Structure 1
Amino acid sequence: MSTPQPPMPQTAAPDWQAAASGSPYPGYTSPIPVVRTHLGHAIASEWTKIRSVRSTMWTLGVFVLLVMGIGLLTASLVAANESEGSLAGENPLSFGVFGLLLGSMCIITLGVLTTASEYGTGMIRTTMTACPSRPRVLAAKAIVFFLVAFVVTFVSALVVALADVALLEGAKEPTGSEWLKGTLGISLYIALLGLLSLVVGSVIRHSAGAITLMIGLVLAPLVIALFMVSSALEDVRQALFDYSIPNQLGVFYTNSLSDSGPSGWDPLWIALGVTAAAFAGAVALLQKRDV
């Protein structure tokens, strides 16, 4: 017959298991420190998202390929076929606009996917649960995307600009203002265009629909103006030309399609105003909607 074992002595509970006032589990307090979340946490989360999905690398890779490939190819063809004095007075930086115009479609696509894809997969529920402040989530997405789009565009535009100046020796030497507009200015403009796409994606919540809408915004005004042949519509036609995005991109290289309309840094202020208004509307709409 076995003898009963004496009861094991009770050990004292660790400090982190002490009772917590008001806790639904008065015998347990988590050892994980509780900190107040802020915008920095949301930015870190969005940075992890944007760099960990394949679409980001593919989209930015195609963007760099288009901008550099078309920009360098255009300058090479011009340099191979130029005659003496044919490029006198020509801004060599302007040949980069063709690649940037096509590459902007990639930035638009990435901007839409940054927000709209989460609604398609349902990931937005997890995002909003982790960060219930919806304006903070949208602001974090906007900051991360804008910085990524701007840096990639600026580096690509700068490389093409330097190469074009070296290839087109017969063209004039760009001034400091032209360098600033043809690299920094146009990079900010395209990043704002992508940011507007991000906001549209948040409003529409459908990737294909938002991408189609933004591509239409880029191309439709210029295409429509080309087919307005009636003299009665001349004012409308001229306005569509002046404020079309391809023309505004050309303004950064002083190659506007017309003598009227935006000039200097005007396209950047227009893009900034439109994007700010759209962002404010998206925040207001986000507060009212269910996830």
Structure 2
Amino acid sequence: MTTSTPQPQQQQPPPQPGALPGAMYTSPIPVRPAHLGHALASEWTKIRSVRSTLWTLGVFVALVVGIGLLVAWKSAGSDFSDVPYTVPALIGLLLGQVCLTTLGVLVVTSEYGTGMIRTTFTAAPQRHRVLAAKFLVFFALAYVVSVVSITVVGLATAAMNVVPEGSGQDWGTTALTGALYVSLLGVLGLAVGSMLRHSAGAITVMLGLVLVPAIMPAFLMMSDSLRGVGEVMLAYNAPNALSALFGLPMYDSASHGVPQLLALLGLTVVAMGGAFALLEKRDV
């Protein structure tokens, strides 16, 4: 006659306070549904903790403020009789726009390059929310830095130069619209980067969009049949658009650059729509 050895019984974990017998475990940590605010906080942490952001924005500020102050120092009060005080910032802004477009591309392509985008989309499966947060955080950062840089140049120029009353003082609008233009270029770069998912390719496309329309009119206007195309590209390329926004008389200052700003806004919205559409259709 054999006897079976009794098996030791496994001890059950103590029930949670207030839990019914047999009920599932309830975490004491409150579980909250994710929303756009969480994605914004995540993207803000990413963008401010990456060294490329600090270096790129630092170069942008150095170009706009540094060159602007140098031009203001070498200017005379009579130079601002019919242009705003922020015109010295225009030269640095023409160079600094490349910094913002590059940073816009890197905000999204750097995650694809390192593979961290998989971790991001695993933590936040709603991809459109992540991309929307990238757009909002980058635009806010680029716009604030641009407005502050242009404003510093305007204030310094006003302090260095004495001009007749009412001259050169209407420069607040140019600071807002000029910053909006270069910030939209950066957002356009972010949208292109999201669609291409490759840093070098997206930066090349953005440099082409900025530089080619500024170079091609000189060749297109040699031909009578292509002169119309050349004139449109001449009026809407980035350097002339910024010049019009800053009220330079040689670049159709009567419109104050509004058509050029609206054209860039429309192009950016279309690119953002394409970025959102492709994000949901492709795997990471």
- TM class by shorter chain equals 0.7 to 0.9
Partner of 1:174: 168
Distance 1:258 1:231 in 2: 22
Task: State the Cα distance separating 1:228 from its structure 2 match.
Answer: 3.2
8 Å Cα contact 1:247/1:256 also seen in 2: no
TM-score norm. by structure 1 comes to: 0.85
Task: State the Cα distance separating 1:264 from its structure 2 match.
Answer: 4.4
Q: 1:165 aligns with which of 149, 152, 158?
A: 158
Q: Does 1:191 align with 2:183?
A: yes
After the TM superposition, list the runs of 4 or more consecutive aligned residues in structure 1 that deviate by more than 6 angstroms. none
Which range moves more in the overlay, 105-114 or 223-232? 223-232
Q: CA 1:204–1:17 in structure 2 vs 1: closer, same or farther (change >3 Å)?
A: farther
Task: State the Cα distance separating 1:253 from its structure 2 match.
Answer: 1.3
Partner of 1:211: 203
Distance 1:217 1:19 in 2: 65
SS at match of 1:155: helix
Partner of 1:13: 14
Partner of 2:59: 62
Task: State the Cα distance separating 1:243 from its structure 2 match.
Answer: 0.7
Distance 1:288 1:240 in 2: 34
Task: State the Cα distance separating 1:78 from its structure 2 match.
Answer: 2.7
Q: Does 1:287 align with 2:280?
A: yes
Partner of 1:53: 50
8 Å Cα contact 1:242/1:262 also seen in 2: no
Aligned residues: 275
Task: State the Cα distance separating 1:14 from its structure 2 match.
Answer: 4.1
Task: State the Cα distance separating 1:161 from its structure 2 match.
Answer: 1.0
Aligned-partner residue type, residue 196 of structure 2: I
Q: CA 1:132–1:16 in structure 2 vs 1: closer, same or farther (change >3 Å)?
A: farther
Structure 2 gap ranges (5+)? 1-7
Task: State the Cα distance separating 1:92 from its structure 2 match.
Answer: 3.2
Identity %: 52
Q: 1:29 aligns with which of 20, 26, 29?
A: 26
Task: State the Cα distance separating 1:260 from its structure 2 match.
Answer: 9.2
Q: 2:247 aligns with which of 251, 254, 260?
A: 254
Distance 2:138 2:259 in 1: 23
Q: Does 1:147 align with 2:140?
A: yes
8 Å Cα contact 2:16/2:25 also seen in 1: no
Q: Deviations over 1:5-57 (max 9, x none)?
A: xx9xx797141795899xxxx76333322211000011111011011111111
Aligned-partner residue type, residue 210 of structure 2: V
SS at match of 1:48: helix
User: What RMSD in Å do the two structures reach over aligned CA positions?
Assistant: 2.8
Distance 1:11 1:210 in 2: 58
Partner of 1:3: none
Task: State the Cα distance separating 1:135 from its structure 2 match.
Answer: 0.7
Q: CA 1:129–1:87 in structure 2 vs 1: closer, same or farther (change >3 Å)?
A: closer
Aligned-partner residue type, residue 196 of structure 1: L
SS at match of 1:227: helix
Q: Does 1:132 align with 2:125?
A: yes
Distance 2:63 2:98 in 1: 10
Distance 1:265 1:224 in 2: 22
Task: State the Cα distance separating 1:140 from its structure 2 match.
Answer: 0.5
Distance 1:206 1:198 in 2: 11
Distance 1:239 1:130 in 2: 46
Q: Does 1:220 align with 2:223?
A: no
Q: CA 1:190–1:205 in structure 2 vs 1: closer, same or farther (change >3 Å)?
A: same
Q: CA 1:20–1:206 in structure 2 vs 1: closer, same or farther (change >3 Å)?
A: farther
